[in-house]
Structure 1
Amino acid sequence: MKQKKVFLLLNGEKPETLPEFSDYEIICATDGAYQFLKERQIIPNFISGDFDSLENLPKNIEVIHTPNQDFTDFDKILQILFDKGYTTIDIFGASGKEQDHFLGNLHTTIQWKEKLQLTFFDNHSRYFLADKSTEIINCKNKIVSLVPFPSAKNISTEGLEYPLNNEDLVFGTRIGTRNKAINNNAKITFESGELFIFINHYKQKK
């Protein structure tokens, strides 16, 4: 059975190109990102937020007011999606602009790792929190970066130009940026910790 996927737009750097929306069950956005969709005549299924920045609320879509300032807009809309039964979410606009929001979004991703499958897309790459065993397909000659948050232990890789063999990465000591896939598929395994994988959209020239 095909998973029901969600397109979620946050209020970071807006995508230069949009995906094929027929791939998604629903479209949603935080209130700060809604204007981007409106300008492109894209009607989301719902928007959420405190709506301080919107003078006129839309009448033709579901508006979910989430004023609780103890949680970020990202965390609150993930809770809404989880409550609606959605677990596979593609997220756009999570990086760029204020970088503290980007780091906060990574933090939130770890908090939801047991319940949601989150994949991020920006204008340069896609990235996600890795499982203990992760395979990347169709990646030959693409830049692959391994970023611990804050550490990941006993990492091994296959199909990367600079392999790791049961090695540790620790933020502030050693991270694994700007590696390159030399095979069509690459595999990353690790024993414990948290590890984000970033994959550039564009292939590196040989």
Structure 2
Amino acid sequence: MKNKALLFINGDAPKTIPDLSGYALIACTDGAFHYLEKLHFPLGMLDFISGDFDSRQIENEIIRQAQYYSFEIIETPDQNKTDFHKALELIIAKGFKNIDVFGASGGEQDHFLGNLSVAFFFKDKINLKFFDEYSSYYFIPKEFSIDNVKGKMISLMPFPVAKNIETTGLKWPLHHEDLMLGERIGTRNVAENQDVSIRYSDGDLLVFIGK
């Protein structure tokens, strides 16, 4: 049974449309709509488009397309939250806790950092994964394992601190060590085994898995 949602937001567009068959709900923010059109995305598969619709040109085009494809238009004018944050709230309200996100990185870097902040806010509420042309990345629980990653780049980014980290399967393993922004981070490691395990006792950790 499908229990996963897919969300496109306004960063760098994917070069190709991901496989849509595994998703029960597909949505985008108004800022991502322009690149979905350029990718010839099947708009009939969209469930909703949300955002503050601050561009009249984009809003008019979305309204025009909605007349043909019957997706829902949800205006979210609250300026105290980002369009990404508000879109996640809508998806969660529809009963989804597993959400894949494209378009979070690239573009203006303050947006990227803001998207990580939103992911941090929701990390204990939902299973959120980001995907771009270089990697997938997401916050991980205190005990975590990854399979089928031999030869891939694995980076561990504390947010801002992760303590007592122990890893297996990496070229440069960690043995009950701490990572901290501004002191030591764990970027550009490599998976030597197909399976990698990560454990830590305190803090928060963001993992990046190269393609």
Per the TM superposition, whether the score is higher than 0.5 is: yes
* 2:94 alignment counterpart: 84
* 1:22 alignment counterpart: 21
* 2:209 alignment counterpart: 199
* 1:48 alignment counterpart: 50
Counterpart of 2:42 in 1: which secondary structure? coil
Deviations 1:168-191 (A, max 9, x none): 000110000000000010001100
Deviations 1:149-203 (A, max 9, x none): 11100000000000001100001100000000000100011001110000100xx
Matched length: 200
* 2:139 alignment counterpart: 129
Cα offset, 1:61, TM superposition: 1.3
* 1:204 alignment counterpart: none
The share of aligned pairs that are identical, in percent, is: 49
Q: Given the alignment of the two structures, is residue 172 of structure 1 paired with residue 174 of structure 2, yes or no?
A: no
Specify which of 114, 117, 129 is matched with residue 107 of structure 1: 117
Maintained 8 Å contact 2:2/2:23: no
Decide which structure has greater helix share: 2
Partners of 1:164 and 1:134 in 2: how far apart?
14
Q: Flag the 1:103–1:41 CA change in 2: closer, same or farther, 3 A.
A: closer
Residue type of the partner of 1:99? Q
Maintained 8 Å contact 1:3/1:88: no
Deviations 1:110-158 (A, max 9, x none): 1111211001000000001011111011000100000001110000000
Counterpart of 2:21 in 1: which secondary structure? helix
Moved over 3 A (4+): none
Residue type of the partner of 2:10? N
* 1:181-192 equivalent positions in 2, closer than 5 A: 181-192=191-202
Q: What is the Cα-based RMSD across aligned positions, in Å?
A: 1.0
Partners of 2:17 and 2:165 in 1: how far apart?
34
Counterpart of 2:125 in 1: which secondary structure? coil
Structure 2, gaps ≥5 residues long: none
Partners of 2:77 and 2:184 in 1: how far apart?
39
Partners of 1:74 and 1:176 in 2: how far apart?
27
Structure 1, gaps ≥5 residues long: 202-206
Residue type of the partner of 1:47? I
Q: Flag the 1:192–1:3 CA change in 2: closer, same or farther, 3 A.
A: farther
Give me the TM-score of the superposition, normalised by structure 2: 0.92
Maintained 8 Å contact 1:143/1:181: yes
Cα offset, 1:26, TM superposition: 1.4
Counterpart of 1:91 in 2: which secondary structure? strand
* 1:5 alignment counterpart: 4
Counterpart of 1:23 in 2: which secondary structure? coil
